[in-house]
Amino acid sequence: MSTQRTAAGLREKADKYTEFVSGGFGKDLAKRLGLPQPAILRRYSPGAPLVEGPILVVGKGAGSDAVANVLLDWHQDVRRHATPKEKLGAIVVVLDELGHPGELSEPMLAVGSALRDLNKNARVVSISRPAATGDAPAVAAARNGIDGIIRSLAKELRAGATANGVLLANGVAPASPSAMSALRFFLSGRSAFVDGQFLTASTEGTKEQAGWEKPLKGNVAVVTGAARGIGAAIARTLARDGATVIAVDVPSAGDHLAAVANEIHGTALQLDITNTDAGQRILDHALGRFGRLDIVVHNAGITRDKLLANMDAARWDSVIAVNIAAQLRMNEAFLASKDFAKNSRIISVASTSGIAGNRGQTNYAASKAGVMGLVRATAPLLAENGGTVNAVAPGFIETDMTAKIPFATREVARRLNSLQQGGKPSDVAEAIAYFAQPAAAGVTANILRVCGQNLVGQ
């Protein structure tokens, strides 16, 4: 079987157009011609400020006060009222007490009046509750209205700014550790290519970790499909955040796999994940070398594209075998092990193809939609012991694979999102690293799109 890999590709590639229009002559030319003007995104780097400028907190009630106090504890410059012409790094609007759509007007118009003062790469983040069965119609309407607001606002923002939301499950307070971990992710450069999306804080969670620079210190993680591309980026990012990483890929990728493992001071495990004993072999490797296994990242995947009318059993079955059946079988082994039972993390790589579909990818879309179903059904099985399971769904990511797309098609695909550019493998890796953090203990069963709000699906 060929090297297992994500469909997004093999390594980060440059978007020359974005670089050209980011300043000087190129910027002026694009403006005169009415061409897209994507911004160079603010991505995470250790030691960088959480945001660049003050944070405006909009909202009334105890929830907004509590969120403002947490931000102050993070040593942020917090405003409760906008100062005209003062550049803002972020706006956080707390709407947890909404009871009627009429109550949206005051806070959202306050946000709107401050938008022109946002810095480049600023953040807008809502904190609210989702509509739930049993809600009064007015309450459900108000809560659902926030979904439309954030997704629409994300399409209006420019200069690399994004809009996202934190949803509070029943009983979860706005300033709970789980909600604040999601807020911190959305405010930070880790979420550079996440736009128009929501994360649900399912439980109160646990107290946030003290060390945000090395949040995974002491943890052991396994990453499948780690020899190249997104998998290698995931391995590097987890190692950067303090984890000891076991890099897994097929034997034919052995040289690349060894190079990645050596670079991050981890270990390499050559393994075909479709083997029936793959999960146990990973456990044996982790426990034999390190005595524990805390984090599993299911990244390995393949594509075998054909229109359904031309699809054969080999193409269909191989994609299902690698992309979803192997995960199901490995998870059974992990969940059966007492050494992976407490505070464990499983993160899968899905795809926007599994949300919106894609021509010629019925097999691939089936497997990636299947990953989403797996995540939601597995969450209760891990919750009893403090574990979580989530997935990221990449959109157009700059890789060797997307670089082979014909130029015109590639350019259109790049610009069909709110940020008007492709993402990087590191963008996917940052989202996965967030889900792996101890601070995300109350964030589970989420499917987070890393796509710049691509114009497909939700």
List residues with catalytic annotation.
364
Let me know the angle formed at the C-alpha of 101 by 100 and 102, rounded to the nearest 5 degrees.
Answer: 90
**DSSP string for residues in 275-325:** STTHHHHHHHHHHHHHS---EEEE---------GGG--HHHHHHHHIIIII
Q: How far apart are CA 40 and CA 121, in angstroms?
A: 9
CB count, 10 Å around CB of 166?
Answer: 29
Two tokens at 256? Answer: 């690349």
Q: How far apart are CA 22 and CA 179, in angstroms?
A: 34
Specify the 3-state DSSP secondary structure of 256: helix
Q: Is the dihedral of CA 275, 446, 198, 456 positive or negative?
A: positive
Q: How far apart are CA 227 and CA 205, in angstroms?
A: 33
Q: How far apart are CA 59 and CA 110, in angstroms?
A: 9
Q: How far apart are CA 303 and CA 318, in angstroms?
A: 9
Query: Residue 8 has what DSSP assignment?
Result: T
**Nearest-CA neighbor of 14 among 456, 424, 436, 358?**
424
Q: How many CA atoms lie within 13 A of 62 on its CB side?
A: 2
Contacts of residue 163, Cβ cutoff 8 Å, sequence gap at least 6: 123, 124, 125, 126, 150, 151, 153, 154, 157, 195, 196
